[in-house]
């Protein structure tokens, strides 16, 4: 099983994280949530927003190509890069990944905890 390294994020994962044995065929978002990394996911993983946007620093080419719907949404994401994905749509394959959670999201309905 591949490993996912999450780079430090001041709010979501201040110290960064390493998830060993990430299950192949599962979305990055689901894996992060299952490992107590509370990435935003306002649309409940349905590819209807951009709050779970991530930047794949390593392993991008191991992911299946984004669908047209995902690409259309990514165009609206804050901090879009050529290796950006919606983590709810990026399915882990057989290679290790290094993931950066952007500092900001476009979520006008964000709740403060």
pLDDT digits (tens, 9 = 90+) for 1-52: 999 999 999 999 999 999 999 999 999 999 999 999 999 999 999 999 999 9
Per residue in 103-112, pLDDT tens?
877 664 444 4
The DSSP letter of residue 27 is B
Thinking of the domain 4-100, which architecture would CATH place it in? Answer: Roll (3.10)
Tokens of 23: 């299950």
Q: Please, are residues 64 and 85 in contact by the beta-carbon 8 Å criterion?
A: no
Per residue in 50-100, pLDDT tens?
999 999 999 999 999 999 999 999 999 989 999 999 999 999 999 999 999
- pLDDT over 80 (residue 101): yes
Q: Would you state the pLDDT for residue 103?
A: 87
Q: Where are the domains of the chain?
A: 4-100
């Amino acid at each position: 099983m591949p490993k996912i390294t999450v780079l430090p994020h001041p709010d979501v994962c201040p110290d960064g994280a390493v998830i060993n044995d990430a299950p192949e065929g599962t979305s990055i978002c689901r894996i992060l949530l299952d490992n107590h990394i509370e990435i935003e996911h306002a649309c409940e993983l349905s590819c209807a927003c951009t709050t779970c946007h991530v930047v794949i620093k390593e392993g991008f080419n191991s992911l299946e190509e984004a669908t047209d719907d995902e690409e259309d949404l990514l165009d609206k994401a804050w901090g879009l890069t050529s290796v950006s994905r919606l983590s709810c749509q990026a399915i882990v394959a057989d290679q290790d990944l290094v993931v950066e959670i952007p500092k900001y999201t476009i979520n006008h309905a964000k709740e403060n905890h």
